[in-house]
Amino acid sequence: MNYLQRISRILAISVAVNLFSCSFIGEENKTAITPDLPKKSHLQERLLFIGDSHSVGVFGRTLTALLEQNFPELKITAVASCGSEPRWWLEGKMTNCGFWMHEPNGFENKVLKASTPKLDDLLNQIKPKITIVALGSNLVLMSKEDREAYTETMMAMLENKGGECIWISAPDSRKFKAAEIESVYELLKKLSKLHHCKLIDSRNHTKYPSSGGDGLHYGGKEGTSIATQWAEKVFNHLKPTLSKSLERHIDR
């Protein structure tokens, strides 16, 4: 049993024991279960998408659907862990506020508590040609030293094993000051240039509502609409890069 199959089995057991709904993401819990995950020999070009609570919710689900609909030649694995930042993906920290996984064959699972998979294990198992990372908001909460150390370790790993790297960072929010988010972007700009990772600034595609919500997550009618549009705009930004990448890799 490979690494992803073990995760899938654990999540399936968790769902059977503890059914739940995650109110902050503003959508109903939908789970499609398929008995067996695809074997490696069935996969073509592979894309790994990982993220935080925004990816557990509307943004991540919408972006994943757009990628699948427009790039059927890609086999997409999406894994999102609420509250996560780079250290979580390097050390496998537990999330207590929501975990979502979507497999290339349509297997999909969402639970409240789960261990964040280690990035190194995911990269070794999937061997993606493209890796998309949607992390940023939780980097604000890290110390400056940890933020730089763990983010650089993660980007170096992606450069070595993740194929083409695309990093989608923090959207607009009321919870954090503009200067706090800007400090995260300053680091990501420096590290993405050093480790050849394309950086997407989500502040260009979002504006958090002036009232309602928790100040960070995009839920409710207005927040869901913004998160959907955010995913659509990011996808339009990604489309030329993915098309060029596939031209280089397909049928080699």
Report yes or no on 34 lying in a domain: no
In a domain, 112, yes or no: no
Q: Is residue 69 part of a domain?
A: yes
How high is the mean pLDDT of the chain?
87
The answer to whether residue 88 sits within a structural domain is yes
Q: Is residue 164 part of a domain?
A: yes
Q: Is residue 17 part of a domain?
A: no
Rounded CA-CA distance 150/112 in Å is: 25
The 8-class DSSP code of residue 114 comes to: E
Instruction: Find the CATH number of the domain harbouring 228.
Output: 3.40.50.1110
Domain housing 147: 46-92+118-247
Q: What pLDDT does residue 32 have?
A: 33
Q: Quick one: average pLDDT of 119-143? A: 98
**Domain membership flag for residue 180:** yes
pTM for this prediction = 0.85
pLDDT at residue 246 in the model: 85
Q: How many domains does the chain have?
A: 1
Say if residue 119's pLDDT is above 60: yes
Position 24 in a domain: no
Region 56-69: mean pLDDT is 98
Look at residue 193 in the predicted model and tell me its pLDDT.
98
Nearest CA to 107 out of 19, 246, 8 is that of: 8
